[in-house]
Amino acid sequence: MLNAHLDLDPASLVGPVNRRVFGSFVEHLGRCVYDGIYEPGHPAANADGFRTDVVDLVRELGVSTVRYPGGNFVSGYRWEDGTGPRESRPSRLDLAWHSIESNEIGLDEFSRWLTLVDGELMYAVNLGTRGVQEALDVLEYANIRSGTELSNQRIANGSPQPHGIRIWCLGNEMDGPWQLGHSTAAEYAQRAAQTARAMRQVDATLELVVCGSSGAGMPTFGEWERIVLEKTYDEVDFISCHAYYEPVEGDFASFLASAVDMDRFIESVVATADHVKALRRSEKTVNVSFDEWNVWYQSRYNEVEKITDADTWPQAPRLLEDSYSVMDAVVFGGLLISLLRHADRVTAASLAQLVNVIAPIMTEPGGPAWRQTTFYPFSITSRLARGAALRVRLDSPSTPTDAYGDVQMVDAVATHDEASGATSVFLVNRSLTETVTVDIAVDRLGIESLDSVESIFDDDIHAANTLTHPDRVVPKTNTTARLHDGTVTISLPPVSWTALAMH
């Protein structure tokens, strides 16, 4: 039997857990919007055409901010196409995903949907094919109360109150050759800085996110961050990170250790941001918005799903509809652990995406909505992670991986809410074969009660939830957990994710 030890100390703080870390992402891509959140005529649709069964699941998921409308989509998007009477809105080619965009849903409708799920809008402006003026226009339309041409248009379009958007993304993945308006770091930085300064002339209190690299594997990674931040540091509050993970050639051991890569990515970006801070002798700290992250079988999209036929432009096609397994959910839970482990600097994040497209929630047109396996680590962590993240001391056996060398078999993070005394611990067993018994020292927290223990594991690590079997994988109560004399002891099965709540 393998053993690990975890020591919790309420004085060993990482930083407060910002609720924005539990954000998500809705892009006009595939069936995320159309047939996802919006399906007029569905039995569960409300008067605005929004599926209330999806609304209920999003609320259960515990999403805070929602990044919108993209994504790659935003770099060719004309925001005004999605305003005014629906019958007058133009259909456009979406070059990012080789589709037709009907513009039935735009800023006003999406803002109304957000009120149903109690979410905050993180809005991305188009710095691919557009620029400063368009960013100022959508800001005026969205946030100015009344008395100007664009604010009065919003009122006439049925939104009398301003949308009050606080956090704005300055474009999307501008380092990527696939991006409309792809540019060098210096070119993008100049455009982003000009846009940021202009937007702050409207409202100096806006929170602005500048584009970091679209992945740590990009050839310009690191240098991109340095150049962009040197030119925009005084104007922005966040720099973005994007990362997706999938098993490569059946290397499940490395896949289960994906959080190792996320840790390194975050720490590299933070180091670069702090380097620029030191060079500028600035008192301001730029934090990380990890506004795209997930398990995504991207190779499957590139090899099977990608639409390239010049004569084929479908509307709301089935794209990126990955079916997630138990193993995917365990990796996903490990990525959440990484985000919480860096709570002092990762103060916003967006799970990409929310419905149907690499999503925790799936729907069938005219039919049901259901939870994927990844739904559960997110919903449980969002519910339990309160207060501040703790810097845990972990002694764990190691497990070999081809991508990262020997890594700790057990990964963990904890949160503690001083006001209520609630403490939560999140654990992953990365081993494909070994059970690990973990002793968690909680005596310094004065823990008296073990309230819940929820785990994701299965004899079949490839088991998934589907339309015909929507509850094949659900959280299980780990009956091995015991609290005795200031120590919680729990046995973690291979390929498992676990959340413990106590006080």
> Is the model's pLDDT at 416 over the cut of 90?
yes
> Is the model's pLDDT at 1 over the cut of 90?
no
- Stretch 228-247: mean pLDDT: 98
Q: Tell me how far apart the alpha carbons of residues 186 and 465 are, in angstroms, rounded to a whole number.
A: 45
Q: Tell me how far apart the alpha carbons of residues 455 and 458 are, in angstroms, rounded to a whole number.
A: 10
User: Dihedral through CA 494, CA 454, CA 119, CA 193, nearest 10?
Assistant: -30
Cis peptide before 10 (omega within 30 of 0): no
| Longest Cα–Cα distance in the chain | 71
Q: Which residues contact 214 (CB under 8 A, 6 or more apart)?
A: 173, 175, 176, 179, 242
- Stretch 157-168: mean pLDDT: 98
DSSP 3-state of 172: coil
Q: Tell me how far apart the alpha carbons of residues 376 and 255 are, in angstroms, rounded to a whole number.
A: 19
Q: Which residues contact 123 (CB under 8 A, 6 or more apart)?
A: 67, 68, 69, 107, 138, 142, 165, 167, 168, 169
Task: State residue 490's pLDDT score.
Answer: 98
Q: Which residues contact 250 (CB under 8 A, 6 or more apart)?
A: none
Q: Tell me how far apart the alpha carbons of residues 57 and 67 are, in angstroms, rounded to a whole number.
A: 18
Q: Tell me how far apart the alpha carbons of residues 229 and 70 are, in angstroms, rounded to a whole number.
A: 22
- Asked whether the beta carbons of 58 and 101 are under 8 A apart, the reply is no
Which residues, listed in sequence order, are joined to residue 26 by a DSSP beta bridge?
A: none
- Asked whether the beta carbons of 93 and 313 are under 8 A apart, the reply is yes
- Asked whether the beta carbons of 69 and 56 are under 8 A apart, the reply is no
**% residues pLDDT > 70 (the chain):** 100
Count of H helices and E strands in the chain?
Answer: 11, 26
- Asked whether the beta carbons of 229 and 276 are under 8 A apart, the reply is yes
Task: State residue 3's pLDDT score.
Answer: 97
Which helix (H) or strand (E) segment is 100 a member of? strand 99-101
> Is the model's pLDDT at 304 over the cut of 90?
no
- Asked whether the beta carbons of 122 and 65 are under 8 A apart, the reply is yes
- What sections of 251-297 are H helices per DSSP? 252-256, 258-280
- Asked whether the beta carbons of 490 and 3 are under 8 A apart, the reply is no
pLDDT band per the 50, 70, 90 thresholds, residue 202: very high
The number of CA neighbours under 13 Å toward the Cβ of 148 is 14
Q: Tell me how far apart the alpha carbons of residues 443 and 255 are, in angstroms, rounded to a whole number.
A: 34
pLDDT in tens, 58-105: 999 999 999 999 999 999 999 999 999 999 999 999 999 999 999 999
pLDDT band per the 50, 70, 90 thresholds, residue 467: very high
Residues identified as active-site: 173, 292
- Asked whether the beta carbons of 314 and 100 are under 8 A apart, the reply is yes
> Is the model's pLDDT at 221 over the cut of 90?
yes
Q: Tell me how far apart the alpha carbons of residues 460 and 458 are, in angstroms, rounded to a whole number.
A: 5
pTM of the predicted model, to two decimals? 0.97
| Exposed/middle/buried for residue 85 (C-beta within 10 Å: 0-12, 13-18, 19+) | exposed
> Is the model's pLDDT at 397 over the cut of 90?
yes
Task: State residue 344's pLDDT score.
Answer: 98
> Is the model's pLDDT at 396 over the cut of 90?
yes
- Asked whether the beta carbons of 192 and 127 are under 8 A apart, the reply is yes
Q: Tell me how far apart the alpha carbons of residues 145 and 143 are, in angstroms, rounded to a whole number.
A: 6
First to last CA, the chain: 29
Which residues, listed in sequence order, are joined to residue 292 by a DSSP beta bridge?
A: 242
Residue type, 269: V
SS3 per residue for 292-348? EEEECCHHHHHHHHCCCCCCCCCECCCCCCCCCEHHHHHHHHHHHHHHHHCCCCEEE
- Stretch 23-42: mean pLDDT: 98
Task: State residue 147's pLDDT score.
Answer: 98
- Classify the C-alpha dihedral 168-172-174-175 as positive or negative: positive
Residue type, 499: A
Task: State residue 253's pLDDT score.
Answer: 98
Radius of gyration of the chain (CA): 23
Task: State residue 219's pLDDT score.
Answer: 97
Q: Which residues contact 364 (CB under 8 A, 6 or more apart)?
A: 467
pLDDT in tens, 116-136: 999 999 999 999 999 999 999
- Stretch 309-316: mean pLDDT: 93
pLDDT in tens, 253-301: 999 999 999 999 999 999 999 999 999 999 999 999 999 999 999 998 9
Query: From the CB of residue 301, how many other CB atoms can be counted at a distance below 10 Å?
Result: 15
Q: Which residues contact 93 (CB under 8 A, 6 or more apart)?
A: 99, 100, 101, 313
CA distances from 266 to 263, 286, 491 (A): 5, 13, 30
Q: What is residue 374's DSSP assignment?
A: T
